C-alpha cells in the first residue's frame, strides 16, 4: 500500500530531476552563446551588448528556476518521507490491534 502512495511523489521527483537536467543543458548552451557573443563583439557593439545582456538575464532566470525546482523537489521528498512514516506507524498500530 505504501508503494502506491509514494509512486506519485517519486514520479514527480523524477520529473523535476529531468527538468533540472534540461535547465542545466540550457544554461550551458547560453553560456556558450555568451562566450561566442563576447568573442564576436568587435563589430555591431550595440546589438551584441543587448544580446549579451539578454543572455545574462536568461541565465539568471534559469538559475532561479533551477533553485526553485531543487527546493520543490526537496520539499516533496520531505513530504513523501512524512507520509511513509505515517503509513508505517498506521500499519504498526493495525498489527498491534490484530495481535491484541
Which DSSP string do the residues of 28-80 spell out, in sequence order? HHHHHHHHHHHHTTTSSHHHHHHHHHHHHHHHHHHHHHHHHHHHHHHHHHHHH
Instruction: Report the number of distinct structural domains present in the chain.
Output: 1
Is 60 exceeded by the pLDDT of residue 18? yes
Residue-number span of the structural domain to which 51 is assigned: 2-99
At 42, is the pLDDT very low, low, confident or very high (cuts 50, 70, 90)? low
Cell numbers given for 1: 500500500
Q: What is the pLDDT of residue 48?
A: 78
Tell me the whole-structure pTM to 2 decimals. 0.48
Q: What is the pLDDT of residue 6?
A: 52
Mean of all residue pLDDT scores within the chain: 84
Q: CA 15 to CA 82: how far, in whole Å? A: 20
Amino acid at each position: 500500500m505504501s508503494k502506491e502512495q509514494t509512486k506519485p511523489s517519486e514520479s514527480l521527483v523524477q520529473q523535476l530531476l529531468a527538468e533540472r537536467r534540461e535547465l542545466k543543458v540550457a544554461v550551458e548552451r547560453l553560456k556558450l552563446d555568451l562566450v561566442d557573443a563576447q568573442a564576436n563583439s568587435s563589430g555591431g557593439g550595440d546589438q551584441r551588448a543587448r544580446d549579451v545582456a539578454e543572455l545574462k538575464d536568461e541565465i539568471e532566470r534559469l538559475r532561479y528556476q533551477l533553485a526553485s525546482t531543487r527546493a520543490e523537489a526537496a520539499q516533496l521528498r520531505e513530504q513523501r518521507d512524512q507520509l511513509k512514516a505515517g503509513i508505517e506507524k498506521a500499519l504498526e498500530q493495525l498489527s498491534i490491534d490484530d495481535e491484541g
